[in-house]
Structure 1
Amino acid sequence: MAAQPQTSNLYMETMIMKTIMIESCLTSQGWEHAESDICPVLTSSFNVLGRIPTHPGLEDGMQLVMKQQENKDHTQKRIEDEKQQNRPPKKLFPNSPLFKQWGDKLSEAQQKEAEDLFQKFGYNAYLSNQLPHNRTLMDTRDFRCVQKSYPSLLPSLGVILIFMDESLSIIQRAITSVISRTPPRLLKEIILVDDFSSNEELKVSLNEKIKLYNQKNPGLLKMIRHSERRGLAQARNTGWAAATAEVVAILDAHIEVNIGWAEPILARIQEDRTVIVSPVFDKICFDTLQLQKYGLAVHGFNWELWCRYDALPHAWIDLNDVTAPVKSPSIMGILAANRLFLGEIGALDGGMLVYGGENVELSLRVWQCGGKIEILPCSRVAHLERYHKPYALDLSIFLKRNALRVAEIWMDEYKHMVYLAWNIPLQNSGIDYGDISSRIALRKKLKCKTFDWYLKNVYPLLKPTLNIVGYGRMKNSLDKSICLDQGPVPGNTPIMHPCHEFSPQVTSIVFPANSDDRCLTDPGHGENPTLEPCSTAAQSGRHIHWDFKQGRAIINRDTKRCLEIRKHSSGAYMLVLQKCTMQMWEIHEKRKLASISMYLLGRK
């Protein structure tokens, strides 16, 4: 009698940690005597962790199921990989200005590299390294400039590029733009002046790049390296002294000249060798390196000698010719001049150290000594504006020093305005602005005009403050670590604030006040003083006249209330108007000691 088949259930674990059941028909002799050909499998797949007798049908079924699972696993992995690829990388520097509008798809490693370069250079050197050196720029000229024609015979041009620790790709892009956008018949030389860079890449790689440029343009590029840092003025003088072309264009190395930039410059200087010109600047954004067109404006400055843009003069607007040169009181960091004329008026003042004021010094000298300055609307140069200047030096030291040097040489009886703006005492300032005897002698030799002439004929927008009897920080005897401050802007509430040397705490004591100043005012009610436009306050009957003597109280002439301070429950001092308790005030720089009637001016 044949043995009866036995039915048994075998449970095995698979590699994917599932439990499967195999239902089989077994005899005591094993698989070969089973009446059933195969054993049905009650799960989708498994990988046996044990050993069972081989059955051909079972093995084929197992392989089919395992293949299906492999395909499923592969598909699932591909989906997960695609999700991972499409998922934005984690932002490592969410507060960095570099990544506000750029860099969303950068990997973490790329973000680190980009941020390191940004901190080093102050602009997106990582992106610059990816961009072609001969990239296309939008033509930002007015269409009437495009239609304008120039003489076929023009002076030769030498381009001077000044740099100190720039990114190599930025310098290469500047060089390439000059070569590709300047007619070869006009471009005589490109002179690079390295003001003692510490960037090793600029010491070796740049020399190799220059050799490559000169292979295509023999003798075009020259390199001059300073053995110590000398500053912008001296670096520009170095380039000027090495030039041989009839006209020199002195540029920063973080620029890209635009199409047709050179012809307007050369044509204008050919007409008048005593004019020093500037192209119109466009902006290269520090993060995206995209070009942003700037409108036309003239170049000016304030009493700290910081550059600013001013409105176009009515005389130019009345010409109704957008291609005409624009008379400008000053020039910024990019200029072009007849090489010999620039030497005749003394080039740049080599006594201006490191950074600041050198452009204003040149501008005053040009105007006061027989030249003129113009902006050329049809010449456009794109300038890369750094987010920050990565220099280790404290530039404020040089800014103050250079400003005082300019004031002492060129500003005559108005020099006190620079001292006032920087909150520096006129006597014993403690600032060494260098030997100015040679520049004073140059001024006499050139028979230069006065600064008063300059203000009246060239820059009437620069308003001096007249009749100053005191200026600077004002301190109260109760706490000399805090100073009178104009408070938040916009706003008209003066406050007491820890003392610093910046303009919100530069108070001017004058008599009389100018119409566009803001005067300290006693409203006549309440205890809070205000800063009001002097003309408006006077017309509305506000009380803006004060009596003061150094080291005494500040008393409003009309209300007889005193400007004093009172300690708040928070521990901070508040500025108040109240019945006089004879608190004493001192102003940093006094010009008259007698008791006076005055206006207290905040900065506009």
Structure 2
Amino acid sequence: MPQVSIVIPCKNEGDLIKQTIESILDTPSQIPYDITVVNDGSTDGCCAFLQSRRKTYPRVKLINTTGIGAANARNLGARRSSGEVLVFCDAHITVEEDWLDLLAEDLGEEGIGAVSPGIANMNQVYAIGYGLTWNEAMEARWLPGPGGIVEVPFAPGGCVAVRREVFYDVGGFERGFRIYGYEDTEFSLKLWLFGYRVLVDPGVVIKHYFRSRHPYPITMEEYAYNAMRLAFSHFNPRRLGNVMNMFSDLKNFGQLVSEILFESDVLEQRRQYFQRRKYDDDWFMEKFQIPL
């Protein structure tokens, strides 16, 4: 039975992070686990209870950072934990009995890269998404319920399980992203292109609080930067051009492209990824009928 490390990035979550941790701790599980919370520059004191009551939460490790962004907070939590299986969760979920055991069990089959549960809206529990896909504008869209465990294009970052060795084999979450955006879909895309499978298990459902306002201050420029960096890393010239055209009307489009090309490692990363990958982006888009 593998040791599981649950990694929870957190920023200005109010009482939700406490609710999430207590839901996990209070839910029966046969599998050994620990929890690492990465408090990424919160200013609302949401993690103060972990600092003042450490003996109450012996399974929980708290790491404080100063705003490194969603992808790098997840990567840091992975580095500072030790489980053979990593489960990345949002800081605003509740879980059900045996959720951890079932997700870890799903990873036992060779070639499985990541597994996600169904994700229900905490305020509308019958609204459940089972993995994600993209539309023609690279916008994430929830998939309907399958009859059993199925392959999906993308495992949502709200809850995704992956074996540690696989996580590091593909390089973890994209280190060059800014603040927030595309970290979950890029990770799943990379798994697929490198030869792993991504699944959703509808037999496991967690509840997720969908907020109207995001805790990270996200600008359109940062969103575009991440989308274009993803495209430079993984897409053929035609598809890369399509993504560039999506953002060409931005006032500082030229500056963003210059920063990606000349102030980051993206071209070397592209070379390495294209050399390493087992499948190309055409194969992926055709497999999942993504019109991009």
TM-score (normalizing by structure 2): 0.89
Deviation at 1:446, TM superposition (A): 2.4
1:29-74 Cα deviation digits (max 9, x unpaired): xxxxxxxxxxxxxxxxxxxxxxxxxxxxxxxxxxxxxxxxxxxxxx
Q: How does 1:1-150 map to 2 (within 5 A)?
A: none
- What corresponds to 1:53 in structure 2? none
Deviation at 1:276, TM superposition (A): 0.5
- What corresponds to 2:54 in structure 1? 210
SS of alignment partner, residue 189 of structure 1: strand
- What corresponds to 1:272 in structure 2? 110
SS of alignment partner, residue 373 of structure 1: strand
- What corresponds to 1:399 in structure 2? 223
Question: Of Structure 1 and Structure 2, which has the larger fraction of its residues in helix?
Answer: 2
- What corresponds to 2:94 in structure 1? 256
User: Gapped runs of 5+ residues in structure 1?
Assistant: 1-153, 215-219, 286-290, 317-321, 465-604
Q: Which residue of the other structure, out of 453, 463, 466, is the alignment partner of 2:291?
A: 463
SS of alignment partner, residue 259 of structure 1: coil
Give the whole-Å Cα distance in 2 for the aligned partners of 1:298 and 1:401.
24
Q: Report whether the alignment pairs 1:161 with 2:5.
A: no
SS of alignment partner, residue 43 of structure 2: coil
Q: Report whether the alignment pairs 1:178 with 2:24.
A: yes
Q: Retained in 2: the 8 A contact 1:283–1:292?
A: yes
Q: Retained in 2: the 8 A contact 1:249–1:337?
A: yes
- What corresponds to 1:224 in structure 2? 63
Give the whole-Å Cα distance in 1 for the aligned partners of 2:160 and 2:126.
19
Structure 2 letter corresponding to 1:331: A
SS of alignment partner, residue 294 of structure 1: strand
Q: Which residue of the other structure, out of 423, 435, 448, is the alignment partner of 2:265?
A: 435
More relative contact order in 1 or in 2 (CA 8 Å, sep 6+)?
2
- What corresponds to 2:33 in structure 1? 188
1:304-332 Cα deviation digits (max 9, x unpaired): 432112356xxx6xxxxx3x311101122
SS of alignment partner, residue 300 of structure 1: strand
Give the whole-Å Cα distance in 2 for the aligned partners of 1:249 and 1:394.
25
Q: Which residue of the other structure, out of 273, 277, 284, is the alignment partner of 1:447?
A: 277
1:255–1:436: structure 2 CA closer, same or farther, 3 Å change rule? same
Q: Report whether the alignment pairs 1:409 with 2:237.
A: no
1:197-246 Cα deviation digits (max 9, x unpaired): 122453x43312333122xxxxx2111111x2111100010111122111
Q: Which residue of the other structure, out of 327, 334, 342, is the alignment partner of 2:151?
A: 327
Size of the aligned set, in residue pairs, is 283
Give the whole-Å Cα distance in 2 for the aligned partners of 1:156 and 1:247.
6
SS of alignment partner, residue 223 of structure 1: strand
Identity in percent: 22
SS of alignment partner, residue 161 of structure 2: strand
1:265-290 Cα deviation digits (max 9, x unpaired): 111101235321111101123xxxxx
Structure 2 letter corresponding to 1:454: F
Deviation >4 Å, runs of 4+: none
Give the whole-Å Cα distance in 1 for the aligned partners of 2:83 and 2:111.
14
- What corresponds to 1:357 in structure 2? 182
SS of alignment partner, residue 283 of structure 2: helix
Give the whole-Å Cα distance in 2 for the aligned partners of 1:379 and 1:298.
12
1:540-588 Cα deviation digits (max 9, x unpaired): xxxxxxxxxxxxxxxxxxxxxxxxxxxxxxxxxxxxxxxxxxxxxxxxx
- What corresponds to 1:244 in structure 2? 82
Q: How does 1:482-501 map to 2 (within 5 A)?
A: none
Q: What is the aligned-residue RMSD (CA, Å)?
A: 2.1
1:248–1:390: structure 2 CA closer, same or farther, 3 Å change rule? closer
- What corresponds to 1:382 in structure 2? 207
Q: Retained in 2: the 8 A contact 1:193–1:235?
A: yes
TM-score (normalizing by structure 1): 0.44
SS of alignment partner, residue 264 of structure 1: helix
Give the whole-Å Cα distance in 1 for the aligned partners of 2:143 and 2:82.
34
SS of alignment partner, residue 347 of structure 1: coil
1:490-544 Cα deviation digits (max 9, x unpaired): xxxxxxxxxxxxxxxxxxxxxxxxxxxxxxxxxxxxxxxxxxxxxxxxxxxxxxx
Q: Retained in 1: the 8 A contact 2:135–2:291?
A: no
Give the whole-Å Cα distance in 1 for the aligned partners of 2:132 and 2:279.
21
Give the whole-Å Cα distance in 2 for the aligned partners of 1:188 and 1:173.
18
Give the whole-Å Cα distance in 1 for the aligned partners of 2:190 and 2:169.
11
SS of alignment partner, residue 198 of structure 1: coil
- What corresponds to 2:247 in structure 1? 422
Q: Report whether the alignment pairs 1:281 with 2:127.
A: no
Structure 2 letter corresponding to 1:375: V
Give the whole-Å Cα distance in 1 for the aligned partners of 2:73 and 2:281.
27
Q: Which residue of the other structure, out of 109, 127, 140, is the alignment partner of 1:294?
A: 127
1:164–1:295: structure 2 CA closer, same or farther, 3 Å change rule? closer
Deviation at 1:421, TM superposition (A): 2.9
Deviation at 1:161, TM superposition (A): 1.1
Give the whole-Å Cα distance in 2 for the aligned partners of 1:342 and 1:437.
22
